[in-house]
Amino acid sequence: MTSELDIFVGNTTLIDEDVYRLWLDGYSVTDAVALRVRSGILEQTGATAAVLQSDTMDHYRTFHMLERLLHAPPKLLHQLIFQIPPSRQALLIERYYAFDEAFVREVLGKKLSKGTKKDLDDISTKTGITLKSCRRQFDNFKRVFKVVEEMRGSLVDNIQQHFLLSDRLARDYAAIVFFANNRFETGKKKLQYLSFGDFAFCAELMIQNWTLGAVGEAPTVPDSQMDDMDMDLDKEFLQDLKELKVLVADKDLLDLHKSLVCTALRGKLGVFSEMEANFKNLSRGLVNVAAKLTHNKDVRDLFVDLVEKFVEPCRSDHWPLSDVRFFLNQYSASVHSLDGFRHQTLWDRYMGTLRGCLLRLYHD
């Protein structure tokens, strides 16, 4: 006696959260059944392995049918085939678009094209995440990227509107899309200590301050403006950043800046002497990063540069985080007292974001 056909269709589509998780994690039906058996469900319910097998198959089939709709979540809401309560719909979508930290760190900032897909195998081996799950996560990134790429308006809003994600998840996707679009390097060894959360935090700050959308000139920009408002950095702004070079190029200005900072921080910093000794290097590093951002290559290396030029020197001198904060605050603020410096607004737009990013990046 073999079972040829075995199905269960409810008027309200049954969703088993545990099985959904197993499915999302890319387990085959056989593996999923084995995992469920191990969870002790047979003992709890008195069911047999055959029942479990049939149940798992059934859920997998349902998820498979739902997957097409999950690719465009608004379709899931409007479709008539599966009657699913709204709370369950939200759960299905949210879980489908959720991703693994380990996976996202591998692809963050990489080009979301087919070429990278070949690497999924390696990522799977490296992270222990099933290839199937990697593919889903990668395809999710790519899909979201494709949809919002050409769109105007707030990145987070666009993502939320087209994928019906929670605020938190939409922000994460905005960061992923932003990183993918600007191709920020995140995979270098010295960046390995950073979490996705660190990058997402920086991405949010940069989207808020450094993009076209950030300046609020968006609605008046004519259609010929091809740049995406939230995804691309404000080119003009990057050009202008060259002007900051004067802060390190002009020796008087640099000395004045240093003395202002040192006066303000004397006695307040545990690592004052180190700071005093390193000030010029640090300042040069930060300003040079700004000045180089006109080149795409250097934009990509932004995080590498920040870590190399600022985080690592401070860390090697064992600056506590509070001292870094004091320093950066003072370092930014003191510029306002430099009479010869005319680019105060530009400085604030640059340094305000950078300060936030650096503080977030500064940890072990």
Partner 1 sequence: MPGKLKVKIVAGRHLPVMDRASDLTDAFVEVKFGNTTFKTDVYLKSLNPQWNSEWFKFEVDDEDLQDEPLQITVLDHDTYSANDAIGKVYIDIDPLLYSEAATVISGWFPIYDTIHGIRGEINVVVKVDLFNDLNRFRQSSCGVKFFCTTSIPKCYRAVIIHGFVEELVVNEDPEYQWIDRIRTPRASNEARQRLISLMSGELQRKIGLKVLEMRGNAVVGYLQCFDLEGESGLVVRAIGTACTLDKLSSPAAFLPACNSPSKEMKESPLVHPPSHGCRSTHNSPIHTATGSRLTQNFSVSVPTLIYTGMGSGSAGKEGGPFKALLRQQTQSALEQREFPFFTLTAFPPGFLVHVGGVVSARSVKLLDRIHNPDEPETRDAWWAEIRQEIKSHAKALGCHAVVGYSESTSICEEVCILSASGTAAVLNPRFLQDGTVEGCLEQRLEENLPTRCGFCHIPYDELNMPFPAHLTYCYNCRKQKVPDVLFTTIDLPTDATVIGKGCLIQARLCRLKKKAQAEANATAISNLLPFMEYEVHTQLMNKLKLKGMNALFGLRIQITVGENMLMGLASATGVYLAALPTPGGIQIAGKTPNDGSYEQHISHMQKKINDTIAKNKELYEISPPEISEEIIGSPIPEPRQRSRLLRSQSESSDEVTELDLSHGKKDAFVLEIDDTDAMEDVHSLLTDVPPPSGFYSCNTEIMPGINNWTSEIQMFTSVRVIRLSSLNLTNQALNKNFNDLCENLLKSLYFKLRSMIPCCLCHVNFTVSLPEDELIQVTVTAVAITFDKNQALQTTKTHVEKSLQRASTDNEELLQFPLELCSDSLSSHPLPPAKEHLESASSNSGIPAAQRATSVDYSSFADRCSSWIELIKLKAQTIRRGSIKTTVTVEKASPVGDGNFRNRSAPPCANSTVGVVKMTPLSFIPGAKITKYLGIINMFFIRETTSLREEGGVSGFLHAFIAEVFAMVRAHVAALGGNAVVSYIMKQCVFMENPNKNQAQCLINVSGDAVVFVRESDLEVVSTQQPTANCQSSCTEGEVTT
Q: Which parts of this chain interact with partner 1 (CB under 8 A)?
A: 1-14, 45-48, 50-52, 54-55, 57-58, 61-62, 64-65, 75, 77-83, 85-86
Smallest separation (angstroms) from partner 1 to the CB of 23: 14
Beta carbon nearer to partner 1, 84 or 134:
84
Smallest separation (angstroms) from partner 1 to the CB of 9: 4
Beta carbon nearer to partner 1, 6 or 101:
6
Per the CB < 8 A criterion, the answer to whether 185 and 174 are in contact is no
CA distance 21 to 16: 9
In a 13 Å sphere around the CA of 36, the CA atoms on its Cβ side amount to: 30
Beta carbon nearer to partner 1, 81 or 226:
81
Give me the phi and psi of 119, to 5 degrees please: -75, -10
Smallest separation (angstroms) from partner 1 to the CB of 160: 14
The first and second tokens of residue 338, run together, are: 């430099």
CA distance 253 to 197: 36
Beta carbon nearer to partner 1, 15 or 306:
15
- Which amino acid makes up residue 57? M
Task: State the DSSP string of 13-56.
Answer: PP--HHHHHHHHTT--HHHHHHHHHHTTHHHHH---HHHHHHHH
CA distance 68 to 76: 9
CA distance 139 to 143: 6
Smallest separation (angstroms) from partner 1 to the CB of 84: 9
Beta carbon nearer to partner 1, 46 or 115:
46
Beta carbon nearer to partner 1, 65 or 321:
65
- Which amino acid makes up residue 125? T
Smallest separation (angstroms) from partner 1 to the CB of 229: 26
Per the CB < 8 A criterion, the answer to whether 131 and 199 are in contact is no
Smallest separation (angstroms) from partner 1 to the CB of 144: 19
Smallest separation (angstroms) from partner 1 to the CB of 207: 28
Q: What is the end-to-end Cα distance of the chain in Å, rounded?
A: 61
Beta carbon nearer to partner 1, 86 or 216:
86
CA distance 19 to 36: 8
